[in-house]
Amino acid sequence: MPDDVILKVRDLYRTYEISGGMFKKGSTLTAVKGVSFDVKRGSTLAVVGESGCGKSTLARMLTMIDAQSSGSIEIDGLSMDIAKTGISKEMRQKVQIVFQNPYGSLNPRQKIGHVLEEPLLLNTDMPAAERRDLALQMLEKVGLQPEHYGRYPHMFSGGQRQRVAIARAIMLQPKLLVLDEPVSALDLSVQAQILNLLADLQDEMGLTYVFISHDLSVVRYLADKVMVMYFGEVVEYGTRDEVFENPRHDYTKTLFAATPRADAESIRKRLAAKVA
Ligand SMILES: Nc1ncnc2c1ncn2[C@@H]1O[C@H](COP(=O)(O)OP(=O)(O)O)[C@@H](O)[C@H]1O
Ligand SMILES: [Mg+2]
């Protein structure tokens, strides 16, 4: 694999057995059907598609929350097939996930300092003082303050909680971040701040993003490549400009026709206003 490709996915499938109830036969649902793509180091692949098309299923496989039914995932030269090999510390350090709803992924009884240090506790033998230092550094990196270290999740706003989730995701200095609708639950002005933060972190840390979103204005703002999924399959894959300017598949045309072009313009303005 050329080393500028950090994520290589080939013919990936995920099926679910659906129980049929007392008298019906069960059936099989194929949520991801033969998906293949490459992502270049330091770039952003946006994954787009309507609800139920398999985006989160893909995200769970890329981040080892779920095993694939078949097919291969290679991250930074490491083959990820957890059903066969289990999950090693080395694998965990390659990839992390950020969810749409950070509240759901934060334990309400844990102080933020503990939330941030947990990945280090589980994956390294770093001494407590160093863990604390790193947690404080990451808080600063995501625009939070040292005093947030001892606070509980409920004391934060939605945007701040998403900053915490991002800080936790980068504690192990992963190469790849999978972001599953990371700004979809936030107000527009907060969305812009979080997107700015993600752009800064990508530059600073050389991160690669797989960014799942149904918001085409967000995708247009941050994607290098765009992949459109439809009923578990990839129906469109190309550079942002190729896909936006010249969508090929009927589904993509419909999807894009439903989104006013002005959206991309307006989000750029919001972001520009925030930076100024
Ligand atoms: N654990 C599961 N068991 C059974 N079906 C599932 C499970 N997770 C997802 N699905 C089904 O797989 C399909 C894809 O879901 P998902 O990946 O969540 O889509 P998206 O994130 O694009 O909305 C849907 O039909 C969903 O109902
Ligand atoms: Mg989803």
Residue 227 lies in a domain: yes
* Cβ density class 153-182: b for 16+ within 10 Å, e for less: beebebbbbbbbbbbbbbbbebbbbbbbbb
* Sign for the pseudo-dihedral over CA of 185, 205, 90, 85: positive
Q: Quick check: CB of 29 below 6 Å from ligand 1?
A: yes
Our answer on whether the CB atom of 33 is closer than 6 Å to any ligand 1 atom is no
- pLDDT recorded at residue 26: 81
Atom of ligand 1 nearest to the CA of 14: 12
Closest CA to 112 of 159, 154, 174: 154
Residue with tokens 């694939």: 68
Give residue 215's pLDDT: 87
pLDDT at 41: 97
The residues near 12 (Cβ < 8 Å, ≥ 6 apart) are: 32, 34, 35, 36, 58, 61, 68, 70, 71, 72, 73
The ligand minimizing its distance to the Cα of 60 is 1
Question: Taking a C-beta distance cutoff of 8 angstroms, is the pair 231, 50 a contact?
Answer: no
Indicate if ligand 1 lies below 6 Å from the C-beta of 181.
no
Look up the pTM and report it.
0.91
- Asked whether 60 lines ligand 1 (CB < 6 A), one says no
Nearest atom of ligand 1 to the alpha carbon of 51? 23
Structural domain contains residue 165 = yes
Number of domains in the chain: 1
Kindly write down the DSSP assignment for every residue of the chain, as one continuous string.
Answer: --TTEEEEEEEEEEEEEEP--SSSPPEEEEEEEEEEEEEETT-EEEEE--TTSSHHHHHHHHTTSS--SEEEEEETTEE--HHHH---HHHHTTEEEE-S-HHHHS-TTS-HHHHHHHHHHHH----HHHHHHHHHHHHHHTT--GGGGG--GGGS-HHHHHHHHHHHHTTT--SEEEEESTTTTS-HHHHHHHHHHHHHHHHHHT-EEEEE-S-HHHHHHH-SEEEEEETTEEEEEEEHHHHHHS--SHHHHHHHHTS-THHHHHHHHHHHHHH-
Ligand 1 neighbour 162 (Cβ under 6 A): no
pLDDT in tens, the chain (276 residues): 456 999 999 999 999 998 877 777 788 999 999 999 999 999 999 999 989 999 999 999 999 999 999 999 999 999 999 999 999 999 999 999 999 886 677 888 999 999 999 999 999 999 999 999 999 999 999 999 999 999 999 999 999 999 999 999 999 999 999 999 999 989 988 999 999 999 999 999 999 999 999 888 899 989 999 999 999 999 999 999 999 999 888 888 888 776 655 555 666 666 666 554
Look at ligand 1, atom 27, and give the residue with the nearest C-alpha: 52
The per-residue pLDDT for 270 is 63
Query: CB count, 10 Å around CB of 238?
Result: 16
Q: Domain containing 166 — which CATH number?
A: 3.40.50.300
Decide: 51 in ligand 1 pocket, CB within 6 A. Answer: yes
Q: Which ligand is nearest to the CA of 17?
A: 1
Residue 223 sits in which domain range?
5-271
Both tokens of 40, joined, read: 């270049």
- Residue 58 CA to ligand 2 centre (angstroms): 9
CA 40–ligand 1 middle distance (angstroms):
27
Query: Is 30 a domain residue?
Result: yes
Question: Does 16 sit in the ligand 1 pocket, CB within 6 Å?
Answer: yes
Kindly state the tokens that stand for 148: 């947030």
Å from CA of 104 to ligand 2 middle:
14
Interval between CA 52 and ligand 1 midpoint (Å)? 6
**Distance between Cα 8 and ligand 2 center (Å):** 21
With CA atoms as reference, report the closest residue to 172 among 245, 116, 252: 116
Regarding the beta carbon of 90 and ligand 1, being less than 6 Å apart is answered no
Residue 226, domain member (yes or no) = yes
What's the pLDDT at 61? 98
Give the pLDDT of residue 260.
Answer: 58
- Measured by CA distance, the residue closest to atom 24 of ligand 1 is 52
Say if CB 59 and CB 45 are below 8 A apart.
no
Q: Is there an atom of ligand 1 within 6 Å of 28 CB?
A: no
Domain presence at residue 276: no
Instruction: Please report the atom of ligand 1 found closest to the CA of residue 59.
Output: 17
At 44 the pLDDT is 98
